[in-house]
Chains A and B, each alone.
Chain A
Amino acid sequence: MSAKLIVGLDGTESGNRALAYATKLANLIGGCELLVVYVIEWSPYTFQTAEENSQRHKRREEETKMAMERIIDPAVASLKADDLNARGIVRHGDVAELIDAVAVEEKAEQIIVARSSEGGFVKRVFGTATANLVMHASVPVTVVG
């Protein structure tokens, strides 16, 4: 039975550090499966115009496609280049909530994320996605500095 590790990316340089650490850890453990997750921040309780609503499905497809092409596919390719078993998924919603949900659903051993790249006002008021994940995660979380 192989261990499954979840790697949460946010499309920034810090995400790459999480990926590098996950690669190292997977090689040390051996026989791991890596699941790379990117969450597009989205809330069902925002306000939109009628025109935005009518185009929402199209936009969602575009957002997912773009995230796959720009973030997930390169990350999975780099893991596969290191002879690791990897795949990736993109979801819409709350970052911390969804990474944890994926970990539970996939019966993962551990979540690896980078220290948050958020800053300023949002960080002060709402905390960061990473901090929220650490506080509510159902499986162990490694935060890469």
Chain B
Amino acid sequence: MNKIFKILMPVLAFLSTTSISAAQETSSLDAQINAGFAAATGWFVNFIFAPFPGTSFPWIVMWLVIAASVFSLYFVFVQFRLFGHAISLVKGDYSDPNDAGEVSHFQALATALSGTVGLGNIAGVAVAVGIGGPGATFWMILAGLLGMASKFTECTLGVKYRNEYEDGTVSGGPMYYISKGFTERGLPCGKFLAILFSVFCILGALGGGNMFQANQAHAQIAGIFGDYPGWITGLIFAGVVFAVIVGGIKSIANVTEKVVPFMGILYVGAALVILIMNADQIGWAFGQIFEGAFTGLGIAGGFVGALIQGFKRAAFSNEAGVGSAAIAHSAVRTKEPVTEGVVSLLEPFIDTVVICTMTALVIIITGQLTINPETGNYIVEGGTIVTATGASGVALTSAAFASAFDWFPYVLAVAVVLFAFSTMLSWSYYGLKAWTYMFGESKGAELTFKIIFCIFIVIGAAASLGPVIDFSDAAIFAMAVVNITGLYFLMPIVKRELNSYMARLKSGEIKKFSGEAGKSAAE
């Protein structure tokens, strides 16, 4: 025994020395990637999030909210008028049985939701209430409700102006409707804006749709197994994503697409149980939300701080006005583009008004945000509210759920990793469509983008959160700058489509199919 020990000692000593130096090298590699990344993207982030002169209000947030308000007014609050009709469409009441086997409204909605429901609902909301207080929730809900109109506008156009190829595949999204729609209306610069959107979409896909996800997934895994270099997680994720998007291994994507909705239901279910357990406090929580929305309850920046956080996180979570959903929704087979627009307005509702609000309520009700008993205001240090466990971001949501179910952080960690993976798959597609719009629909162009996408997963997992989250937000919001510009010019077309559809719906020309059997196309 002693002999074996003597032989093993030098080997173990050598291994421990090499592993320490390897760890130092990898941490310096992480630091180098991080510093280089921050230096390369700082100017872009500063421009997108520049505040109005003399205020702390980023112009981009106002840009999104004004657009959502304009669309809400222009379409006479379509999100409330047609909410019931949206549910009928998703149920398939108006689906022609002849189209059975095509992408259904439900499937298009579920696919788009799997791209948006994820970290924004878990980490983003925690950041919003951690900085903006409970009042941020009010502004988040308001932004979600208004955002439904933006989503309606962009998804209607997405279906109307998509490209249908001879082989039966489709490509759609802002780049297609901006270029085709502008040409149709005789407006200049359509092609330029479409390319500009594509550039931002690729950056958004690599940022928020990729690096942010990889980064947060690594943080979750490291939280469970202990800290280790981010590039290792990055390489594993990149390998799996590569297997799906390049290798065409559908089984991984299929499993993810089935597990993710289940995780979403489990998350909402657990939140509901916690809310029911604390039913007596729901009134108080909403009181805090309303009071905080207009007074700030002592948070940094007052109610404006709450408003900025609420609007910002809602936009990042539901992506209304960003244009990404228009790419996902354009695959549906429908003769009426308006129907897909109507269905898509459910997306910000489910994502923001339901799921984000659940997260916020759980954080508030479980007492994660500390209150000064003398003033009734929240205790703020360094611009953020002091939390019961000192946690922020995903960890804050995790702590809130753990206060009711101690096993929940493990479920949440799995959910975050799966959400991150599913969001990456969705955004790899959005980015790919923008890429092929610019470089042509060829196998070579597709493969180039897919490899770049996988490389960015490793960079995202290795970089520290600060520069990554800033760049992710900036790239996604930059898409909204171009997309909304296009929507303003094209909204009369949507209005015409909507009026025509509503008139035919009213006259009975468009009727329900439910219960009727159709004829086969293959007869």
Contacts and interface: CB of A to CB of B under 8 A. Distances in A.
Interface string B327-348: 1100111000000000000000
A78 interface: no
Contacts of B101: 40, 42, 56, 60, 63-64, 91-93
A54 B100 contact: no
A50 B110 contact: no
B63 interface: no
Interface in B52-111: 92, 95, 97, 100-108, 110-111
Interface string B257-275: 1101100000000000000
B168 A58 contact: yes
A47 B258 contact: yes
Contacts of A56: 101-103, 331, 333
Chain A interface size, under 10 / 10 to 19 / 20 to 34 / 35 or more: 20 to 34
Interface of B: 92, 95, 97, 100-108, 110-112, 114-115, 167-171, 245, 250, 253, 257-258, 260-261, 327-328, 331-333, 425-426, 429-430, 517, 519-523
Interface in A24-68: 40, 42, 44-58, 60-61, 63-64, 67-68
A102 interface: yes
A68 B169 contact: no
14 contacts: A42-B101, A44-B104, A49-B111, A50-B331, A54-B170, A54-B429, A56-B101, A57-B170, A58-B168, A60-B101, A64-B522, A67-B522, A92-B100, A93-B101
Closest 8 pairs between A and B when the two form their complex, measured CB to CB: A92-B101, A58-B168, A44-B104, A101-B517, A53-B331, A50-B429, A47-B257, A60-B101
Contacts of B100: 42, 44, 91-93
A74 B115 CA distance: 44
B108 A53 contact: yes
Given A44-B100, A56-B103, A51 B170 contact: no
Contact of A45 (B106, B112, B333): B106
Contacts of B168: 55, 57-58, 60-61
Contacts of B520: 89-91
A55 B520 CA distance: 20
Contacts of B331: 50, 53-54, 56
Given A47-B111, A56-B333, A68 B104 contact: no
A116 to B, nearest CB: 22
Q: Which of A44, A61, A104: most chain B CB closer than 10 A?
A: A44
Contacts of A83: none
B333 A49 contact: no
Contacts of B103: 48, 53, 56-57
A47 B104 CA distance: 10
Nearest to B261: A47
A49 B168 CA distance: 17
Q: Which of B105, B257, B430: most chain A CB closer than 10 A?
A: B257
A44 B107 contact: yes
Interface of A: 40, 42, 44-58, 60-61, 63-64, 67-68, 87, 89-93, 98, 101-102, 104-105
Contact of B102 (A49, A50, A51, A57): A57
B169 A54 contact: yes
A52 B95 CA distance: 20
Contacts of A60: 101-102, 168
Contact of A91 (B114, B327, B522): B522
B522 A53 contact: no
Given A51-B245, A56-B103, A58-B167, 17 more contacts: A48-B257, A49-B111, A50-B111, A50-B425, A50-B426, A50-B429, A55-B168, A57-B103, A57-B170, A61-B168, A64-B522, A67-B522, A89-B522, A92-B100, A92-B101, A93-B101, A101-B517
A102 B111 contact: no
Nearest to B332: A53
A63 B521 CA distance: 12
A50 B115 contact: yes
Contact of B110 (A47, A67, A102): A47
Contacts of A40: 101
B258 to A, nearest CB: 6
Contacts of A47: 107, 110-111, 114, 257-258, 260-261
B107 to A, nearest CB: 6
B426 to A, nearest CB: 6
B39 to A, nearest CB: 33
B250 to A, nearest CB: 8
A49 B429 contact: yes
A95 to B, nearest CB: 12
Nearest to A56: B103
A57 B170 CA distance: 9
Q: Which of B170, B245, B331, B522: most chain A CB closer than 10 A?
A: B522
A54 B167 CA distance: 11
B111 A90 contact: no
Contacts of B167: 58
A54 B446 CA distance: 15
Nearest to A46: B107
A56 B226 CA distance: 43
Q: Which of A40, A48, A55, A90: most chain B CB closer than 10 A?
A: A48
